[in-house]
Amino acid sequence: MEKIPFVTKEQVEEIVKKYPTPFHIYDEKGIRENARKLKQAFSWNKGFKEYFAVKATPNPSIIKILHEEGCGTDCSSMAELVLSDKLGIRGNDIMFSSNDTPDEEFAFADKIGATINLDDITHIPFVKKACGKIPKRISCRFNPGGVFTLGESKEGFQVMDNPGDAKYGMTKDQLLEAYATLKNEGAEEFGMHAFLASNTISNDYYPALAKILFSLAVEIKEKTGVQLSFINLSGGVGIAYSPDKEPNDILKIGEGVKKVYEEVLVPAGMGDVEIYTELGRFMLAPYGHLITKAIHEKHTYKEYIGVDACASNLMRPAIYGAYHHITVLGKENAPLDHVYDVTGSLCENCDKFAVDRKLPEIEIGDYLAIHDTGAHGFAMGYNYNGRLWSAELLLREDGEVTLIRRAQTIDDYFATLEGFWDVV
């Protein structure tokens, strides 16, 4: 699949007159269209709701757009709960899925009516003490253990993950005990949640996960008398970071889940169970670019292009070796006849956006669009080497560009150092 940037060289040249590189920019039109397509894919389920994973892109302007498209929020910390609350997102529009959670976060989640998703059976008495009661509506997180695999290709398994090594969720026996306990403690509405694999490029992942959870839901009903009101398929539906991969088809995924729903839940008298998703990467990643400028070139044992962004702006290539496609703006149709390492300025050799990447000839001053940074891009930023967080911009549907987070300043960086300016 061809990777085409949603901004042109000419647009960027105008933008940098006001907002210098590097910056993250998001495409409002693409975000809205994708949210509507997801809703269409699950329109067969009358209670369907997407709870956007705030951790992926915690910017209020972005979350407001998604909320306007009918999405709730999935939160995992106090800050994410407060962000949602400030935007007027409360009650059943929030799922609070966290682990090793402080009691004040459970208490605040309950105060604003969020649905608490329990990560462990020991959290039942913890939540009761923190909130003064067991909430009437509550969810439990399931971990099936073992190794999860799905399908094979010439390269090996399409999806392979190891839930047994994950710190999240309860065993099946714990889950059954938890629902029975919660029912006895006065809970009235129950849900289930699970996350088995990350960034799957397979239309079969959600249906396979759904079959596991739907079958377990029937067993829970039979063994505990608890009938689930909702099942949260969590995240894991990924994107095609490299152009040689075929992206997921969310409409096919929705149809696959519907088929399993009708095979497993409907015959068990559970045809009113609401389906939730908790997508972050799928919702936002393709609709964000990191725009950076080539400022240095180096010719040693390899050919290097140094840009004004670094791993502080986009951590994934440095820590995971993750591929992010790069377009040299204005040279989209030029031959890929040069091989570069594209690097940032950090004092770490892993600070590279690309290694041995075939690209057009890059000249000092060229602008590069690093693709698929709309999720887990800015959100994972940090201040190593004293590098500052970049601005975030929004390309509106009408073509206007809006600043939705200013760039961090040196004064911001030093602001939390108590008494610093008194001693320098």
Task: Taking residues 108-115, report their average pLDDT.
Answer: 98
Decide if 347 is catalytic: yes
**Span 67-81, pLDDT tens digits:** 999 999 999 999 999
Domain of 372, in residue numbers: 286-414
Q: The tokens of 419 are what?
A: 């008494």
Residues 111 and 212 in one domain: yes
CA distances, 159 to each of 147, 195, 201, 240 (Å) = 10, 13, 8, 14
Q: How far apart are CA 117 and CA 232, in angstroms?
A: 10
Q: What is the pTM of this model?
A: 0.94
Write down which residue in 279, 296, 311 finishes a domain: 279
CATH code of 202's domain: 3.20.20.10
Q: Name the active-site residue from 71, 75, 140, 347.
A: 347
Residues 357 and 384 in one domain: yes
> Does the pLDDT at position 151 exceed 70?
no
Residues 330 and 349 in one domain: yes
Query: What is the predicted pLDDT for the residue at 155?
Result: 42
Whether 144 is in a domain gets the answer yes
CATH code of 320's domain: 2.40.37.10
Whether 1 is in a domain gets the answer no
Task: Taking residues 136-159, report their average pLDDT.
Answer: 72
Query: What is the predicted pLDDT for the residue at 419?
Result: 79
> Does the pLDDT at position 269 exceed 90?
yes
Query: What is the predicted pLDDT for the residue at 154?
Result: 41
DSSP 8-state class, residue 422: H
Q: How far apart are CA 48 and CA 51, in angstroms?
A: 10
Among the residue ranges 1-10, 194-203, 219-228, the one predicted with the least confidence is 194-203
Whether 13 is in a domain gets the answer no
Residues 334 and 368 in one domain: yes
Nearest C-alpha neighbor of 194 from the set 258, 293, 100, 277: 277
Please, what is the average pLDDT of the chain?
94
220 CB contacts (<8 Å, ≥6 apart)? 175, 176, 179, 192, 226, 228
**Span 278-295, pLDDT tens digits:** 999 999 999 999 999 999
Q: Count structural domains, the chain.
A: 2
Task: Taking residues 375-390, report their average pLDDT.
Answer: 96
